[in-house]
Amino acid sequence: MEKLRLLVTTKCPNKCPMCCNNSWDFSKLPVVEHFNYKEIMITGGEPLLFPEKLANLAESIKTVQKLAYGNKGKLFLYTALADMLPNYIRYFDGVVYTPHSVNDVHSLLEANNFLLDYKDELMESKSLRLNLFPDIKKHIPDNTDLSLWKVKDMQWIKDCPVPADEEFKRVAELWEVE
């Protein structure tokens, strides 16, 4: 496989009834053994609940990919915490952000404005995807400049199957406390 979806934690501030994680037994998920992938997507739970561990992991993966495999695979972060993006986007080639509540829209707008203001310094060759559920999308002002983002309209999908071209693995010890 060329893509790895890497679970680092099951901790999450959102308690979504249709969360993909509700259908998994993470103790049965295989532990990652290498990082020789073209794309690695760090996910959870919420990885940004553990910002220092996340930064260290991202740097380690990039170093291993370069030194051990001679490639420069892409590293993506899946998150629902927009307020932390300005501080941690530098560690990733891209971010997939999914606001989960109306309260998240304010954080999205602030982070988006920051990224727009500093796009020349922060955004060179970054990929940003914004997943919007209909109940969230309606709260984003029409005049909001989302030009940095590829916006994807979302619907809840029962059991959220992993795409056929991805492996889903976890770190040896899931992050529980910072």
Inform me whether the pLDDT recorded for 21 exceeds 80: no
Q: Look at residue 76 in the predicted model and tell me its pLDDT.
A: 97
* pTM of the complete model: 0.91
- Is 126 within 8 Å of 93 (Cβ atoms)? yes
Residue 177 counted as domain residue: no
Give the residue with greater pLDDT, 172 vs 13: 172
Residue 39 counted as domain residue: yes
Give the residue from 116, 104, 102 showing the smallest Cα distance to 145.
116
Mean pLDDT score, 94-105: 92
- Is 51 within 8 Å of 9 (Cβ atoms)? no
Give the residue from 66, 68, 115 showing the smallest Cα distance to 94.
115
**Structure confidence at residue 114 as a pLDDT band (50, 70, 90):** very high
Inform me whether the pLDDT recorded for 17 exceeds 70: no
Residue 175 counted as domain residue: no
Residue 105 counted as domain residue: yes
Residue 84 counted as domain residue: yes
Residue 178 counted as domain residue: no
Q: Look at residue 130 in the predicted model and tell me its pLDDT.
A: 96
Residue 164 counted as domain residue: yes
Q: How far is CA 44 from CA 20, 112, 125, 133, in A?
A: 10, 22, 24, 19
**Dihedral of the alpha carbons of 148, 98, 86, 169, in degrees to the nearest 10:** -110
User: Measured between alpha carbons, how far is 54 from 91 in angstroms, rounded to an integer?
Assistant: 9
- Is 148 within 8 Å of 109 (Cβ atoms)? no
Strand partners, 6: 42, 169
Residue 123 structural domain: 3-170
Number of structural domains found in the chain? 1
**Structure confidence at residue 26 as a pLDDT band (50, 70, 90):** confident
Which tokens is 165 given?
Answer: 């071209």
Residue 132 counted as domain residue: yes
Inform me whether the pLDDT recorded for 18 exceeds 70: no
Mean pLDDT score, 118-124: 84
